[in-house]
Amino acid sequence: MSDASQSRCVYFLSNPDKGDAASVMEDLRSFADSRCTIVGSSLGFDGRAAVEAGADRIVVIGGDGTLIGVARSLGLDQRPLIGVNVGKLGFLAEFSIDELKSCFDRAIRDDTIISRRTVLQVTVRHEGDVRDASLAVNDCVIQAGPPFRIIKLGITINGAHLSNVGGDGLIVCTPSGSTAHNLSAGGPIMQPGVDAIVLTPLSPHSLTHKPLVVERESVIDILALDVNEGTTAIIDGQVSHLLRPGDRVTIRRFDSDFLLVHNPLYAEWHNLVTKLHWGRAPSCE
């Protein structure tokens, strides 16, 4: 082991809601003990203790939701996250336990396998005053909610009115989030490093409102023109803000990127092809 590996500081975070995540964390801590400087470990989704401890890498044990929660907690102090999947799909949490062990030194040392991904700042204003603010690693989804009548949203980009959209709502997502709710709603799949933001209308009552890709530096304003009692802005599926008539949701690029360590054992498109089965030919059986 090189001196560079030994000097790297690593913090371990584990999702307390995953049954075996705590034991996995102890196993990985034991494995890593002689390979790096371990600066701490904890159960939860808050990565601020890792930042305060001076971590160069944070090993996150859980699933994609755990990774997203940790990234959101870091705010401006983003650190490269190594996702160990003990959840379901594991699209962002790319490493199995054995895979991380087999390439641990490279995962904590090699900065060339860090993927930089756009994060969004979502601000909800009521009568001009800030009511809520959140970070979105994947997306901000405005959903009609009960009583499930069509809602109307006004969309402005960089101060210029674009359109009023009537339907079930709107998805605004990062390239990382393009394979989440956006994919299910018929939006485009985007390479993680693309400098862009996607707007995908949800079941628009129109033949002309199609998904739109805009520049990453765009400032998107969404005005709640006609909404239901349960209309909600949902951030990464983890945080919800009820919207009232006249509320304005402003979405722009956040000042720090989400840093994700890519599993070097796999090609760039491995997860898209093997986990989402993109491009698979129809079966003749």
Active site residue 64: yes
What residue segments make up the domains of the chain, in order of their start? Answer: 3-117+257-274, 120-253
CATH class of the region 3-117+257-274: alpha beta
pLDDT digits (tens, 9 = 90+) for 40-53: 999 999 999 999 99
Mean pLDDT of 123-141: 96
Round the average pLDDT of the chain to a whole number and report it.
94
pLDDT of 4 higher than 80: no
pLDDT digits (tens, 9 = 90+) for 93-114: 999 999 999 999 999 999 999 9
Higher-scoring residue by pLDDT: 279, 118: 118
The DSSP annotation for 111-173 comes to: GGGEEEE--EEEEEEETTEEEEEEEESSEEEEE--TT---EEEEEEETTEEEEEEEESEEEEE
pLDDT at residue 89 in the model: 74
pLDDT of 280 higher than 90: no
Predicted confidence band of residue 281 (pLDDT cuts 50, 70, 90): confident
Of the residues 56, 64, 139, 168, only one is catalytic, namely 64
pLDDT at residue 196 in the model: 97
Q: pTM for the whole thing? A: 0.93
Length of the chain: 285
What distances in angstroms separate CA 125 from CA 91, 119, 145, 155, 238, one per listed residue? Answer: 33, 20, 19, 15, 19
pLDDT at residue 165 in the model: 98
What distances in angstroms separate CA 192 from CA 37, 214, 251, one per listed residue? Answer: 30, 15, 19
pLDDT at residue 1 in the model: 47
Looking at CATH, the fold of the domain delimited by 120-253 is given as: Tumour Suppressor Smad4 (2.60.200)
